[in-house]
Chain A
Amino acid sequence: MKRAGRILIILGIAVILLSGYASSVYSRGNTLVIEENDSEVYLFEVGQDVHVNVTLDSHSIGTFSVYFMNWQDANRTMVENKTANPITPIFSFENISSLQENLHIPAPGIYALLFTTESTEFQIIWVELSASGIQSRVTSGGVLLAGVGAVMLVLSVIWERRTKSPLREKVK
């Protein structure tokens, strides 16, 4: 139990360090073309909160709408229902010409940005996503591991002292 406790503490600390190691800033960008009565889905996988920067190309005019949703809802919208109307988006930004927003990610996973426009002309937009910050779920896992290990270690030390104490008294 003492050894298992020590191993769990080491693994827990390693997981906490890993979650910090993975917290560097990452950024990616892409160009999309959206048309009237049509929607464009932009999928991405992310482990922590993400900053979204969407801008219209200098040659494009008008407004567009952005819906942030999980992959299941994007799947339902685009594949199952074959509609441009987003199903239960997490965040909606309608009739905008640019977007700079921090999006809170409920859990690491695959998410989608659904773009629609009511403009009669097609629009070219630049989407840039960047993420930073500690992956809190991983950190909490590491803390839990180390905590369980510490409890096991303390319990085993107490147990050892209890079982050894009569012998010590005898020696005295």
Chain B
Amino acid sequence: MKQKLAKLMAQFQIEIGMSYRFPVIEGLAALIFLTPIEAAVLTWNAVSINPDRLEYFVFAEFGFSGMHLGNLMFGLTQLLPILVPVLVSFTAAKSFEDGYIQTLLTYPVERVTVLLVKTICVIIIPAGLLTFTYLFAIPFIIPQAPLISHVSIMLLGVWISVLLFAILSMLVAVITKKVSATAIFGLAFGIVTPILLNNPAVPNIARVVLNPFDAAYRYITNHSSYMMFGTEMTPLIDLQIGFGISLMISLVLLTFTLWLFTRSEIGG
């Protein structure tokens, strides 16, 4: 057991050392951490007087807890479906294309472990950075204490979204074994998702399943930007069901991807 754990840790070290060389993590940290922190700091730098808007938020049921937690991630909810597949393409798909995966497979580790380590890294790094951003922003940037329920919903949305996007793009990487194909999938997914989200014909649960992070953001900020397209607010029950379905889809796809990888031909 101890030996297995040591092997797994060594695999993680190899993956971080080879696929996440400077400046991959540094660039991600700058994007995921500094962008929202900058936005939040600049929000609070001014005496901003807007009684109508503030009265709405102050006296609204949700208060400003959701507004500020949500605004911290404004923009990133739409960026994440592109960012994660691009990360997968530059880490996992690249190793297929340049043949590095063959070197990895010569080590005394199972095939499943190799892909699982790659998948875990691609999930933990962006989701961990987003979580770190929240944990830093709550005491230092966001004014007054936000509601625990809002924080939990946002963090759940972050992790389930990253899990879904990472596994979906990992599946594309395993099937195509091409950097470009995986990156194009990410871009297409990032473009198509908002179009589907804007469509009133798409049910609420499907909207949550497609982008749980965005749905969490819409829910805690107590508004729907898609209202102009005739879409409705997402109730909590739909959010919970959507999260559950998204998580299940991710796990099923992960199992399928691992199964496919163990049977696919590597190199040539």
Binding site for B on A (CB under 8 A): 3, 7, 10-11, 14-15, 18-19, 21-24, 26-28, 30, 42-48, 50, 71, 74-75, 79, 107-110, 129-131, 135, 137-138, 140-141, 144-145
A22 to B43, CA, bound (A): 9
Residue in A3, A43, A144 whose CB lies within 8 Å of B58: A43
Is A110 touching B49 in the complex (CB atoms < 8 A)?
no
A28 contacts B48, CB within 8 Å?
yes
Number of B residues contacting the other chain (C-beta, 8 Å)?
30
Do residues B144 and A109 form an inter-chain contact, with CB atoms below 8 A? yes
Contact yes or no, B141 A141, CB < 8 A: yes
Q: Which residues of A contact B165 (CB under 8 A)?
A: none
Contact A45 B48, beta carbon cutoff 8 Å: yes
- B59 engages A75 (CB within 8 Å): yes
Q: Which of B89-119 contact A (CB under 8 A)?
A: none
Chain A residues near B51: list those with CB within 8 A: 42-43
Contact check, A27 vs B47: say whether CB atoms are below 8 A apart.
yes
Cβ-defined contact, A129 with B140, below 8 A: no
Q: Tell me which of B25, B37, B44, B57 contacts A47 (CB under 8 A).
A: B44
Asked if A43 and B44 make an inter-chain contact with CB atoms under 8 angstroms apart, the answer reads no
Residues of A close to B57: CB separation below 8 A: 110
Pick the contact of B44: A7, A22, A24, A145 (CB < 8 A).
A22
A47 touches B45 (CB 8 A): yes
Which B residues are CB-close (under 8 A) to A45? 43-44, 47-48, 54, 143
Q: Is B75 an interface residue (CB 8 A)?
A: no
